[in-house]
Amino acid sequence: MSSTTILGIEGTAWNLSAAIVNESDVVAEVTHTYRPPTGGIHPREAAQHHARYASQVIRDLLDEAKQHGVTTGDIDAIAFSQGPGLGPCLRTVATAARMLALSLNIPLVGVNHCIAHIEVGKWKTPSSDPVVLYVSGANSQVLAYRMGKYRVFGETLDIGIGNAFDKFARNAGLTHPGGPKIEEYAKNATEYIPLPYVVKGMDFSFSGLSTAATDALKRASIEDVCYSFQETAFAMLVEVTERALAHTGKNEVLLAGGVGANMRLREMLDIMCDDRGASFYVPEKRFMGDNGAMIAYLGLLMLESGTVTDIDRSHVNPNFRPDDVDVTWIDGTIDEKLEGGN
Protein backbone atom coordinates (compact mmCIF):
# COMPACT_ATOMS: atom_id res chain seq x y z
CA MET A 1 0.00 0.00 0.00
CA SER A 2 1.48 3.34 -0.92
CA SER A 3 0.98 6.40 1.23
CA THR A 4 1.93 9.99 0.48
CA THR A 5 5.55 10.43 1.57
CA ILE A 6 7.19 13.81 2.12
CA LEU A 7 10.72 14.94 2.91
CA GLY A 8 10.69 18.13 5.00
CA ILE A 9 13.52 20.44 6.02
CA GLU A 10 13.46 22.85 8.97
CA GLY A 11 16.14 25.48 9.55
CA THR A 12 14.51 28.74 10.65
CA ALA A 13 16.94 29.28 13.52
CA TRP A 14 19.43 27.05 15.32
CA ASN A 15 18.05 23.61 14.53
CA LEU A 16 18.74 22.05 11.15
CA SER A 17 16.41 19.09 10.96
CA ALA A 18 15.15 16.94 8.10
CA ALA A 19 12.54 14.20 8.23
CA ILE A 20 10.58 11.87 6.03
CA VAL A 21 6.97 11.26 7.04
CA ASN A 22 4.02 9.41 5.61
CA GLU A 23 0.35 9.55 6.60
CA SER A 24 0.80 7.23 9.54
CA ASP A 25 4.13 8.22 11.07
CA VAL A 26 7.63 9.67 10.95
CA VAL A 27 9.78 7.30 8.87
CA ALA A 28 13.13 8.93 9.69
CA GLU A 29 14.48 12.16 11.15
CA VAL A 30 18.00 13.60 11.41
CA THR A 31 18.85 16.79 13.29
CA HIS A 32 22.05 18.81 13.59
CA THR A 33 21.89 21.72 16.02
CA TYR A 34 23.95 24.91 15.86
CA ARG A 35 25.24 25.75 19.32
CA PRO A 36 26.77 29.21 19.70
CA PRO A 37 30.04 28.98 21.66
CA THR A 38 29.10 32.18 23.54
CA GLY A 39 26.15 34.58 23.47
CA GLY A 40 22.97 34.03 21.47
CA ILE A 41 22.26 32.84 17.94
CA HIS A 42 24.15 34.79 15.28
CA PRO A 43 22.02 34.53 12.10
CA ARG A 44 24.94 34.35 9.67
CA GLU A 45 26.84 31.78 11.72
CA ALA A 46 23.69 29.65 12.10
CA ALA A 47 23.19 29.84 8.31
CA GLN A 48 26.81 28.78 7.73
CA HIS A 49 26.22 25.86 10.06
CA HIS A 50 23.13 24.84 8.05
CA ALA A 51 25.03 25.16 4.75
CA ARG A 52 27.90 23.07 6.08
CA TYR A 53 25.71 20.23 7.39
CA ALA A 54 22.75 20.21 4.98
CA SER A 55 24.12 17.56 2.62
CA GLN A 56 25.26 15.32 5.48
CA VAL A 57 21.87 15.60 7.21
CA ILE A 58 20.01 14.72 4.00
CA ARG A 59 22.38 11.83 3.25
CA ASP A 60 21.98 10.41 6.77
CA LEU A 61 18.21 10.86 6.51
CA LEU A 62 18.01 8.95 3.23
CA ASP A 63 20.19 6.17 4.71
CA GLU A 64 17.95 5.91 7.75
CA ALA A 65 14.79 5.90 5.60
CA LYS A 66 16.23 3.13 3.42
CA GLN A 67 16.56 0.94 6.51
CA HIS A 68 12.80 1.37 6.90
CA GLY A 69 12.14 0.48 3.27
CA VAL A 70 11.65 4.02 1.94
CA THR A 71 13.81 5.22 -0.97
CA THR A 72 14.03 8.51 -2.90
CA GLY A 73 11.65 7.10 -5.51
CA ASP A 74 8.91 6.96 -2.84
CA ILE A 75 9.15 10.66 -1.98
CA ASP A 76 6.26 12.70 -3.41
CA ALA A 77 7.38 16.25 -2.52
CA ILE A 78 9.98 18.33 -0.70
CA ALA A 79 8.64 20.62 2.03
CA PHE A 80 10.64 23.42 3.63
CA SER A 81 10.15 26.23 6.16
CA GLN A 82 9.42 29.34 4.11
CA GLY A 83 9.25 31.51 7.25
CA PRO A 84 9.06 33.08 9.75
CA GLY A 85 12.68 32.89 10.82
CA LEU A 86 16.18 34.27 10.38
CA GLY A 87 16.68 35.38 6.76
CA PRO A 88 20.11 33.82 6.14
CA CYS A 89 19.01 30.48 7.66
CA LEU A 90 15.77 30.42 5.67
CA ARG A 91 17.60 31.11 2.41
CA THR A 92 20.12 28.32 2.99
CA VAL A 93 17.40 25.75 3.68
CA ALA A 94 15.24 26.96 0.76
CA THR A 95 18.20 26.52 -1.59
CA ALA A 96 18.74 22.95 -0.42
CA ALA A 97 15.01 22.20 -0.78
CA ARG A 98 14.82 23.63 -4.32
CA MET A 99 17.86 21.62 -5.36
CA LEU A 100 16.36 18.40 -4.03
CA ALA A 101 12.96 19.02 -5.63
CA LEU A 102 14.54 19.82 -9.00
CA SER A 103 16.91 16.86 -8.95
CA LEU A 104 14.18 14.40 -7.92
CA ASN A 105 11.71 16.11 -10.26
CA ILE A 106 8.98 16.36 -7.60
CA PRO A 107 6.96 19.34 -6.28
CA LEU A 108 8.17 21.80 -3.68
CA VAL A 109 5.91 22.85 -0.80
CA GLY A 110 6.81 26.00 1.15
CA VAL A 111 5.26 25.82 4.62
CA ASN A 112 4.62 28.27 7.42
CA HIS A 113 6.72 27.27 10.42
CA CYS A 114 4.11 28.32 13.05
CA ILE A 115 1.36 26.30 11.40
CA ALA A 116 3.69 23.30 11.18
CA HIS A 117 4.01 23.42 15.00
CA ILE A 118 0.21 23.38 15.28
CA GLU A 119 -0.45 20.59 12.79
CA VAL A 120 2.20 18.25 14.18
CA GLY A 121 0.69 18.79 17.64
CA LYS A 122 -2.77 17.87 16.33
CA TRP A 123 -1.28 14.83 14.59
CA LYS A 124 0.54 13.55 17.64
CA THR A 125 -2.16 14.19 20.28
CA PRO A 126 -5.94 13.58 20.28
CA SER A 127 -6.50 17.33 19.78
CA SER A 128 -8.62 18.26 16.74
CA ASP A 129 -9.67 21.91 16.94
CA PRO A 130 -7.61 23.62 19.62
CA VAL A 131 -6.72 27.07 20.81
CA VAL A 132 -2.94 26.92 20.41
CA LEU A 133 -0.38 28.55 22.66
CA TYR A 134 2.78 28.65 20.55
CA VAL A 135 5.77 29.70 22.62
CA SER A 136 9.28 29.46 21.22
CA GLY A 137 12.49 31.46 21.06
CA ALA A 138 11.32 34.03 18.54
CA ASN A 139 7.54 33.56 18.63
CA SER A 140 4.74 33.84 21.15
CA GLN A 141 1.23 33.58 19.77
CA VAL A 142 -2.25 32.41 20.67
CA LEU A 143 -3.94 31.00 17.56
CA ALA A 144 -7.03 29.09 16.51
CA TYR A 145 -8.64 27.99 13.27
CA ARG A 146 -11.60 30.08 12.12
CA MET A 147 -13.12 30.31 8.65
CA GLY A 148 -10.32 29.11 6.44
CA LYS A 149 -7.33 30.48 8.37
CA TYR A 150 -5.40 30.14 11.57
CA ARG A 151 -6.25 33.44 13.21
CA VAL A 152 -3.84 35.11 15.61
CA PHE A 153 -5.85 36.03 18.71
CA GLY A 154 -2.92 37.43 20.65
CA GLU A 155 0.82 37.77 20.17
CA THR A 156 3.94 39.38 21.51
CA LEU A 157 4.39 43.03 20.69
CA ASP A 158 8.18 42.72 20.88
CA ILE A 159 10.30 39.61 21.52
CA GLY A 160 9.28 35.98 21.99
CA ILE A 161 9.14 34.56 25.52
CA GLY A 162 12.06 32.19 24.82
CA ASN A 163 14.27 35.06 23.67
CA ALA A 164 13.22 37.05 26.75
CA PHE A 165 14.37 34.14 28.94
CA ASP A 166 17.58 33.69 26.94
CA LYS A 167 18.42 37.41 27.09
CA PHE A 168 17.92 37.51 30.86
CA ALA A 169 19.95 34.31 31.26
CA ARG A 170 22.85 35.79 29.28
CA ASN A 171 22.79 38.86 31.52
CA ALA A 172 22.83 36.55 34.55
CA GLY A 173 25.94 34.80 33.18
CA LEU A 174 24.14 31.60 32.11
CA THR A 175 24.79 29.91 28.77
CA HIS A 176 22.35 29.59 25.86
CA PRO A 177 19.60 28.39 25.95
CA GLY A 178 18.53 30.02 29.20
CA GLY A 179 14.97 28.66 29.52
CA PRO A 180 15.79 25.26 31.06
CA LYS A 181 18.26 26.84 33.51
CA ILE A 182 15.66 29.40 34.63
CA GLU A 183 13.21 26.57 35.24
CA GLU A 184 15.76 24.79 37.46
CA TYR A 185 16.60 27.91 39.51
CA ALA A 186 12.90 28.71 39.94
CA LYS A 187 12.34 25.43 41.78
CA ASN A 188 14.45 26.67 44.71
CA ALA A 189 12.84 30.09 45.15
CA THR A 190 11.47 31.35 48.45
CA GLU A 191 9.81 34.61 47.50
CA TYR A 192 7.88 36.25 44.65
CA ILE A 193 9.33 39.57 43.45
CA PRO A 194 6.76 41.82 41.69
CA LEU A 195 7.68 42.33 38.01
CA PRO A 196 5.83 44.19 35.21
CA TYR A 197 2.79 42.27 33.96
CA VAL A 198 2.13 43.58 30.44
CA VAL A 199 -1.02 42.44 28.65
CA LYS A 200 -2.51 44.97 26.21
CA GLY A 201 -5.84 43.80 24.87
CA MET A 202 -5.01 40.27 23.73
CA ASP A 203 -1.31 40.99 23.14
CA PHE A 204 1.64 40.72 25.48
CA SER A 205 5.14 42.14 25.74
CA PHE A 206 8.23 40.52 27.25
CA SER A 207 11.09 42.90 26.54
CA GLY A 208 10.50 45.17 29.55
CA LEU A 209 9.88 42.15 31.77
CA SER A 210 13.24 40.66 30.78
CA THR A 211 15.02 43.95 31.53
CA ALA A 212 13.20 44.31 34.87
CA ALA A 213 14.17 40.76 35.82
CA THR A 214 17.83 41.52 35.02
CA ASP A 215 17.58 44.63 37.19
CA ALA A 216 15.99 42.65 40.04
CA LEU A 217 19.15 40.51 40.24
CA LYS A 218 20.76 43.47 42.04
CA ARG A 219 18.43 43.04 45.02
CA ALA A 220 17.17 39.46 44.97
CA SER A 221 18.54 35.94 44.57
CA ILE A 222 18.69 34.39 41.11
CA GLU A 223 16.27 31.68 42.33
CA ASP A 224 13.63 34.24 43.33
CA VAL A 225 14.08 36.27 40.14
CA CYS A 226 13.81 33.20 37.89
CA TYR A 227 10.68 32.07 39.73
CA SER A 228 9.07 35.54 39.57
CA PHE A 229 9.97 35.94 35.88
CA GLN A 230 8.33 32.60 35.06
CA GLU A 231 5.22 33.23 37.19
CA THR A 232 4.65 36.66 35.64
CA ALA A 233 5.31 35.68 32.02
CA PHE A 234 3.28 32.46 32.22
CA ALA A 235 0.34 34.19 33.93
CA MET A 236 0.25 36.64 30.98
CA LEU A 237 0.26 33.77 28.46
CA VAL A 238 -2.37 31.76 30.33
CA GLU A 239 -4.65 34.79 30.71
CA VAL A 240 -4.70 35.42 26.94
CA THR A 241 -5.10 31.70 26.15
CA GLU A 242 -8.09 31.54 28.51
CA ARG A 243 -9.71 34.55 26.89
CA ALA A 244 -9.19 33.03 23.43
CA LEU A 245 -10.96 29.87 24.66
CA ALA A 246 -13.88 31.92 25.95
CA HIS A 247 -14.05 33.98 22.77
CA THR A 248 -13.91 31.07 20.30
CA GLY A 249 -16.04 28.65 22.33
CA LYS A 250 -13.47 25.90 21.67
CA ASN A 251 -12.76 23.32 24.35
CA GLU A 252 -9.14 22.27 23.72
CA VAL A 253 -5.77 23.88 24.33
CA LEU A 254 -2.66 22.67 22.52
CA LEU A 255 0.80 23.72 23.65
CA ALA A 256 3.52 24.12 20.98
CA GLY A 257 7.09 25.42 20.75
CA GLY A 258 10.30 24.88 22.70
CA VAL A 259 9.19 26.82 25.81
CA GLY A 260 6.37 24.29 26.10
CA ALA A 261 8.96 21.96 27.68
CA ASN A 262 8.54 24.00 30.87
CA MET A 263 6.65 22.02 33.52
CA ARG A 264 5.41 25.06 35.40
CA LEU A 265 3.82 26.49 32.24
CA ARG A 266 2.15 23.13 31.63
CA GLU A 267 0.87 23.02 35.20
CA MET A 268 -0.65 26.51 34.95
CA LEU A 269 -2.34 25.72 31.63
CA ASP A 270 -3.59 22.43 33.02
CA ILE A 271 -5.22 24.16 36.00
CA MET A 272 -6.85 26.78 33.75
CA CYS A 273 -8.19 24.09 31.39
CA ASP A 274 -9.46 22.06 34.32
CA ASP A 275 -11.36 25.08 35.66
CA ARG A 276 -13.02 25.61 32.28
CA GLY A 277 -13.71 21.95 31.50
CA ALA A 278 -11.34 22.10 28.50
CA SER A 279 -8.85 19.41 27.45
CA PHE A 280 -5.17 20.22 27.51
CA TYR A 281 -2.79 18.57 25.05
CA VAL A 282 1.00 18.50 24.95
CA PRO A 283 2.82 16.50 22.27
CA GLU A 284 5.95 14.49 22.99
CA LYS A 285 8.98 16.73 23.50
CA ARG A 286 10.58 15.87 20.13
CA PHE A 287 7.57 17.44 18.37
CA MET A 288 7.54 20.63 20.47
CA GLY A 289 10.80 22.33 19.55
CA ASP A 290 11.72 22.95 15.91
CA ASN A 291 11.81 19.64 14.05
CA GLY A 292 11.86 18.40 10.47
CA ALA A 293 8.86 16.09 11.00
CA MET A 294 6.47 18.99 11.51
CA ILE A 295 7.56 20.61 8.23
CA ALA A 296 7.22 17.33 6.35
CA TYR A 297 3.80 16.67 7.90
CA LEU A 298 2.37 20.09 7.01
CA GLY A 299 3.84 19.58 3.51
CA LEU A 300 1.88 16.32 3.35
CA LEU A 301 -1.39 18.02 4.36
CA MET A 302 -0.81 20.79 1.81
CA LEU A 303 0.15 18.46 -1.04
CA GLU A 304 -2.86 16.23 -0.39
CA SER A 305 -5.14 19.27 -0.45
CA GLY A 306 -3.64 20.48 -3.74
CA THR A 307 -1.24 23.18 -2.55
CA VAL A 308 2.31 23.23 -3.96
CA THR A 309 4.83 26.05 -4.39
CA ASP A 310 6.24 26.93 -7.82
CA ILE A 311 10.01 27.40 -7.76
CA ASP A 312 9.66 31.02 -8.85
CA ARG A 313 7.33 31.67 -5.90
CA SER A 314 9.50 29.86 -3.38
CA HIS A 315 11.28 32.94 -2.00
CA VAL A 316 11.53 32.96 1.80
CA ASN A 317 9.65 35.36 4.06
CA PRO A 318 11.29 36.07 7.44
CA ASN A 319 8.02 37.67 8.64
CA PHE A 320 5.64 35.06 7.21
CA ARG A 321 2.44 35.27 9.28
CA PRO A 322 0.30 32.21 9.93
CA ASP A 323 -2.85 34.20 9.14
CA ASP A 324 -1.52 34.80 5.59
CA VAL A 325 -1.97 31.10 4.78
CA ASP A 326 -5.15 29.73 3.21
CA VAL A 327 -5.83 26.52 5.10
CA THR A 328 -6.80 24.12 2.33
CA TRP A 329 -6.58 20.94 4.41
CA ILE A 330 -9.25 21.59 7.07
CA ASP A 331 -12.91 20.97 6.37
CA GLY A 332 -14.45 24.42 6.81
CA THR A 333 -17.64 22.96 8.33
CA ILE A 334 -15.69 22.57 11.58
CA ASP A 335 -16.83 26.14 12.37
CA GLU A 336 -20.49 25.33 11.76
CA LYS A 337 -20.26 22.30 14.03
CA LEU A 338 -18.85 24.53 16.75
CA GLU A 339 -21.60 27.10 16.33
CA GLY A 340 -24.24 24.36 16.23
CA GLY A 341 -22.87 22.92 19.43
CA ASN A 342 -23.02 26.18 21.35
Q: Which residues bind Mg ion (CB under 5 A)?
A: 136, 290
Rule CB under 6 A: say whether 29 interacts with ligand AMP: no
* Comparison of 163 and 309: residue with beta carbon closer to ligand AMP: 163
- Minimum distance between the CB of residue 325 and Mg ion, rounded to whole angstroms? 15
- Minimum distance between the CB of residue 257 and Mg ion, rounded to whole angstroms? 5
Interface pattern 148-167 for ligand AMP (x via CB under 6 A):
--------------xx-xx-
Q: How many helices (H) and strands (E) does the chain have?
A: 10, 12
Give the count of alpha carbons within 13 A of 204, CB side only: 28
Q: Round to whole Å and give the CA distance between 167 and 178.
A: 8
- 79 within 8 A of 296, measured Cβ to Cβ: yes
Choose the contact partner of 183 out of ligand AMP, Mg ion, none; CB within 5 to 8 A by kind: ligand AMP
Dihedral pair phi/psi, residue 94, rounded to 5° = -65, -40
Count CB neighbours of 187 within 10 A.
11
- Contacts of 223 by beta carbon, 8 Å cutoff, 6+ apart: 185, 186, 187, 188, 189, 190
Q: Round to whole Å and give the CA distance between 2 and 228.
A: 52
Interface pattern 206-245 for ligand AMP (x via CB under 6 A):
----------------------------------------
* Comparison of 70 and 255: residue with beta carbon closer to ligand AMP: 255
Site residues (CB under 6 A) for ligand AMP, limited to 282-341: 289-290
- Minimum distance between the CB of residue 226 and ligand AMP, rounded to whole angstroms? 10
Q: Is the dihedral of CA 87, 58, 16, 155 positive or negative?
A: positive
Choose the contact partner of 178 out of Mg ion, ligand AMP, none; CB within 5 to 8 A by kind: ligand AMP
Q: What is the contact surface with ligand AMP in residues (CB under 6 A)?
A: 13, 15, 136-137, 162-163, 165-166, 177-180, 183, 257-259, 261-262, 289-290
